[in-house]
Structure 1
Amino acid sequence: MASSWRLLVQGLTSLVFLCAHADEYVRPPPSPLVLTAHGKPASHPQQVHISIVGEKNMRISWVTDDRTRPSVVEYGTSPGKYTASATGDHTTYSYFLYKSGAIHHATIGPLEPSTTYYYQCGKAGDEFTLRTPPARLPVEFVVIGDLGQTGWTASTLSHIAGGGDYDMLLLPGDLSYADTQQPLWDTFGRLVQPLASARPWMVTEGNHEIETLPVVEFAPFVAYNARWRMPHEESGSASNLYYSFDAAGGAAHVVMLGSYADFGEGSPQRAWLERDLAGVDRRRTPWLLALLHAPWYNTNQAHQGEGERMRRAMESLLYEARVDVVFSGHVHAYERFTRIYDNEADSRGPMYITIGDGGNREGLALKFIKGHKSAHLSEFREASFGHGRLRIVNETTAVWTWHRNDDQFATVRDEVWLHSLAAGEPAAAAGGRPVDEL
C-alpha cells in the first residue's frame, strides 16, 4: 500500500510540475568530460562494481594499479566484521602503449536476499557496502543507456542516487565512450563506482565497446570483456556479449542480447536464445524483459535502420515467447512505442523503449521524423537526458517511468502501467488506473 501511495504521489507531483514548467525547459547542450582521478595508493581497489551470478551469488570486480595484489574479497553483515571470504582471479590487457592494471573478479556467496553486506577488496583500502536484490516481487530496475562520462552523466547518476531506492541497474550498451583511449575506461569506472559498487550493474555491449581499428589487428571488445564480466557461462552462453539472468526469485527473466555478435540463422547467439527462451516457464516467471543496443523501432533521424537486420532475425523469437518489454539505446534520445510485432501494433508483442540518453559526449539526437512509417506506433518521444525505472509491482502489474534530467532534479516526464503478457489480455482500465495501460 505504501508503495502504491508513493507512486501516486510521485505521479501527481510530476504532473503538477509539468503543467507549471513545460514552457521553461531548455534542451541541454553537450557537456565536457568528467575525468575522475584515483589519488590513493596503487594497492587500493578502484573502479569497483558488482553483478549478480545465479540466484544467491555476487561477482565483485575491481582494478588495482599494483598487479601483485590478491584477488580476494572479505565480507560480512556488520561493518568491519568479515565472516567470509572468496578468492577469484585477475587479468590484464594491453592496447598500443597502454597496459591495464590488474582487473580482479571474485564471486561471493551464497548471500541472503534483501540484505546489506560490507566488503573489502584485496585486503586494502576502503570498505564498500552492497545490498542484495529481493527474492520475490516487488523489484525495481533502473535503466540507462549510452552513459559516457560527461557533466550530464554525473547529473544522471546523481538523480538515480537521489531518486529513491532500487534493486538493480540495467545498461543496454555504450558504457565509457573510451573509443580506443583506454585511460577513459579507468576514469569511467571511478565515476560510476559509488553506484556500481552498491547495486548490481548488468550491462550488454554497444558499438563504442568494439574498439577495433583499421589495419591494426586488435580483437574487438578486449577492454569490455576484461572489465565487465557478466554471468554468460551461468546462463549457457559461450560469449560475454549475450547472456540472461533471473531476478526476484525467478519472477523476472532478463535477456541481454548482443547487437554486435552474430545473430543470424545458425549463429551461436540465435541458438542460445532459442534454448534460453524455451527454458522460461511463464507460470513461474510472469515477467520477461530483453535488452539490446541498436533499436529495432526508431523514428529518430539518428541510426535509422541499423537494428533492422537483427529485428528480422530475432523478433519472432521474442514475440513467440511473449517478451513484455524490449529496451535499447544507441539513439541519444528517449522514445516509447506501443506493443508491436512486425511493424504493426499488436497487444501480444513487446513494448519497445529506447533510452540512449544517459549523458554521452556526442550530445542529443534532436530530430525525430514526423512522417516516419512507425510514427503512429510511437507514443512518447523526447530528446533529453535522463533515466528510467521499471518497478514490477506483482505478477501482473508493473509501472515504467522516465525521469528527465531537468537541472537540479529529475522530472517524471513519462509514465505507463504495464500488464504482464503471461497473465493474458489486460482488463479494461478501471477507476484510478491510468488509461495508458499496456
Structure 2
Amino acid sequence: MAGLALSACGGSSGSSSSSGPVDSPLPPDPQPEPIPDSAEPGPIPPRGLHLSFVGDSHTSRTVTWFTDGLEPPQSRLEFGVVEEGMSEADIAEQVFEHFVDASADETPGVESFTHRATAAGIDAEKPMRYRVGSDEGGWSPVYVVAPSPRGEWSFIHFGDHGIGDLPQQLTAEVLKTPADLIMIAGDLSYANGDQPIWDTWFEQMEPLLARRITMTAPGNHEQKDFGGEAFKNRFTHPPKPLSSVIGQGSPGSSFYSFDYNRVHFLVTTAGALINDGTLVEEIINIEVDLAQAALRRARGEIDFIVVMQHYTIWTDQLGRSPANPTLVALEENIMLRYGVDLLAVGHDHVYQRSKPMGLGLPNPLGYVQVLVGTGGASIRLFDENGPQIWSAAEFIGVGFCRYAVSPGKIRGEYYGSPPLDLSDEGRQYITGDFSLQDSFEISAKPQIACQLCAKPARSSDILLADYEAISRHTRERNRHDLRHC
C-alpha cells in the first residue's frame, strides 16, 4: 500500500496457552435474577431491556428498550442503590431515589419506538436497582445490576448468535457464567430484513442483557437491516472517538471506543456498513484512537488495547479467507503500528485463537486474534489442509470466551460444546455439555515496547492512499456476503 510501512512495538506479549477439554467449572453466577412479580402490567409495556454505557463505566448506566404502537408513552428510567440488608421486597417496592426521562425514536421496520435513558452519577460501589416504563404504559420488572469492579474483572466475547435452539443454549450458559461485561462481535439477531426477528432476539436476551453491560459491533447480517440503521437505532453506544470534530454520531454509533478500568476498547465495523458512507471517517477514527491509546499506555494510564470487530484479519474456516485484502492490510498495519494486544472477532462459525502474530506469521511483537464465531448461528468446519502456522488453538462447536483481567494480565478461557458429530446433520445439534476447551494468557507489554508504539497519528493522505481499492474490495466482499452468508 502506498505510503504505508508495517511496524510493531517491541517486546513480547508473554502469551502462553493450553488447549483441549479441561474440567474447570466456574462458580455460580453471583448476580440476582429480576425481582419476581415486580412488573406492573399496562397497555404498552416496555420490552427488550438492555444495558450499555455512554459515559464512565463505573458511574453511569444506559438502558435501551422498546414499546409497541403508533405513539410512544412518556417513558422514564427509575433507579437507586441496593443498600446492604435490603430485602427482595425492599428492592422491588421502595420508592426509587432518582429518575430520568427517556427519549423515543421510531424503530425501523416495525410499529414500535426505541427508548433510551442514562443514569449518571450513580454510586460506583453499590449495586443499582432500576425499572423502566410509564404509568400510562406499564413498568418493567425491577432489575439489579452489579457495580463495575475496580480490581480484577472479566468480560465475555462471542459473535454470530441468532434466535434458534443453539443460540439459546449458548445464552443460558453465559447467564450462568460470571462476567462484568459482554462483548458481541456482530451478526446478532440474523433478522436479515425481517424486523420482528430483532424483537424476538431482544425478548430472548433480556434476562442477560438487562443485567450485564453489553457492547456490540455490527456484522454483515446487520447490513441487511436498512443498511445497518436497525442496529444503530436499537443499541446505545458511546460517541465516535472524533465525533466532536467530524459531526455527531447516532446513539448506536457503529464504531466507538471506551475504557473499562485499565483496558481500552475500540469497536469497529471493519467495513460491514460501508454503504452508510462513513468508512473514510472510520479509518481516520481508528488511526487517531489507537494512536492516543498507545500514548496513554506508554504513560502508564492503561495496560491493554483491545479491538473488537465482526470480520477476521486471518482465518482457517473452509472457504472464508478475507476477501478485501486492502482493508485487511490497512487494519493490520494500524494494529501493529500501535501495538494492539487483542483482536476479538466473529464472522467465521468456528473458534480459533492465534499465536501473537502479524502478516500471517507468528510474531512476538504482534496481536492475538481470538475468533469466536460460535454463538450458535451454525457450526462450520476448518480448511482440509489444516491450520496455518499462526494458529494456536481450534474448536468446532458452540461456545464463548471469558477473559479474566488482572493487573498486567488477561487470562482467556474458551468454553464450548461440540456437535454430535461433524456431518451436516450432526452439526445441527450439540452435546449440551460446555467445558473448558482452551486457555491462554496475554501479558502487558514491557515499557520499552509501549514507548516504541507511541507514535503520532498519520495523515489522511497516507491512510487513504489506496482508498479506491479499499472501497472496491470491501463492497465486493459485502456483496458476496449478502448473497451467500
Note whether the superposition's TM-score is higher than 0.5: yes
Show the counterpart of 1:410. 434
Q: Could you tell me how far apart the structure 2 residues matched to 1:253 and 1:386 are? A: 25
Give a deviation string over 1:152-203, Cα, whole Å, max 9, x none.
111111111113x210000110000000111100000000100100011100
Give a deviation string over 1:227-273, Cα, whole Å, max 9, x none.
1121124763746111111102xx01001011224599991111111
Matching of residue 140 in structure 1 with residue 154 in structure 2: yes
Show the counterpart of 1:223. 230
Q: Out of 128, 131, 139, which is 2:146 matched to?
A: 131
Distance 1:266 1:90, change over 3 A: closer
Matching of residue 118 in structure 1 with residue 129 in structure 2: yes
Matching of residue 344 in structure 1 with residue 361 in structure 2: yes
Q: Could you tell me how far apart the structure 1 residues matched to 2:380 and 2:281 are? A: 33
Show the counterpart of 1:317. 334
Q: Out of 304, 320, 326, which is 2:343 matched to?
A: 326
Distance 1:290 1:17, change over 3 A: closer
Residue identity matched to 1:46: R
Show the counterpart of 2:80. 76
Partner of 1:210: helix, strand, or coil? Answer: helix
Structure 1 unaligned blocks of 5 or more = 1-10, 19-38, 213-218, 426-438
Structure 2 unaligned blocks of 5 or more = 1-17, 26-39, 83-90, 419-430, 450-485
**Conserved? CA contact 1:256–1:291, under 8 Å:** yes
Q: Summarize the alignment of residues 15-414 of structure 1 with structure 2, pairs less than 5 Å apart.
A: 15=22, 41-55=42-56, 56-66=59-69, 67-78=71-82, 79=91, 80=93, 81-95=95-109, 99-123=110-134, 124-125=138-139, 126-134=141-149, 136-163=150-177, 165-211=178-224, 219-233=226-240, 236=243, 238=249, 240-248=253-261, 251-259=262-270, 260-262=272-274, 267-280=280-293, 281-282=296-297, 283-306=300-323, 308-360=325-377, 363-370=378-385, 375-394=388-407, 396-405=408-417, 407-414=431-438
Give a deviation string over 1:77-131, Cα, whole Å, max 9, x none.
1413310111231111443xxx231110111111233531111112332212222
Residue identity matched to 1:15: V
Q: Could you tell me how far apart the structure 1 residues matched to 2:74 and 2:279 are? A: 42
Distance 1:90 1:112, change over 3 A: same
Residue identity matched to 1:73: L
Q: Could you tell me how far apart the structure 2 residues matched to 1:161 and 1:128 are? A: 14
Distance 1:307 1:192, change over 3 A: farther
What root-mean-square deviation, in Å, do the aligned CA atoms of Structure 1 and Structure 2 show? Answer: 2.7
Give a deviation string over 1:267-295, Cα, whole Å, max 9, x none.
11111112212222001111110011110
Distance 1:156 1:235, change over 3 A: farther
Q: Could you tell me how far apart the structure 1 residues matched to 2:167 and 2:213 are? A: 18
**Conserved? CA contact 2:217–2:255, under 8 Å:** yes
Distance 1:306 1:293, change over 3 A: farther
Distance 1:184 1:379, change over 3 A: same
Distance 1:16 1:270, change over 3 A: closer
Q: Could you tell me how far apart the structure 1 residues matched to 2:229 and 2:273 are? A: 14
Distance 1:306 1:369, change over 3 A: farther
**Conserved? CA contact 1:71–1:105, under 8 Å:** no
Q: Could you tell me how far apart the structure 1 residues matched to 2:169 and 2:321 are? A: 28
Show the counterpart of 2:4. none
Q: Normalising by the residue count of structure 1, what TM-score does the alignment of the two structures yield?
A: 0.80
**Percent of matched pairs sharing the same residue:** 20
Residue identity matched to 2:307: A
Offset of residue 423 of structure 1: 5.0
Residue identity matched to 1:230: H
Show the counterpart of 1:27. none
Q: Quick one: higher RCO (CA 8 Å, sep 6+), 1 or 2?
A: 2
Q: Normalising by the residue count of structure 2, what TM-score does the alignment of the two structures yield?
A: 0.73
Q: Could you tell me how far apart the structure 1 residues matched to 2:74 and 2:415 are? A: 41
Give a deviation string over 1:116-149, Cα, whole Å, max 9, x none.
1111112332212222322x23120010111111
Residue identity matched to 1:61: T
Partner of 1:188: helix, strand, or coil? Answer: helix
Q: Could you tell me how far apart the structure 2 residues matched to 1:410 and 1:40 are? A: 37
Partner of 2:332: helix, strand, or coil? Answer: helix
Q: Could you tell me how far apart the structure 2 residues matched to 1:314 and 1:73 are? A: 39
Q: Could you tell me how far apart the structure 2 residues matched to 1:41 and 1:307 are? A: 50
Q: Could you tell me how far apart the structure 1 residues matched to 2:20 and 2:385 are? A: 30
Offset of residue 368 of structure 1: 2.5
Residue identity matched to 1:208: H
Residue identity matched to 1:132: P
Q: Which runs of 4+ in 1 moved over 6 A?
A: 263-266
Residue identity matched to 1:91: D
Partner of 2:62: helix, strand, or coil? Answer: strand
**Conserved? CA contact 2:19–2:439, under 8 Å:** no
Show the counterpart of 2:469. none
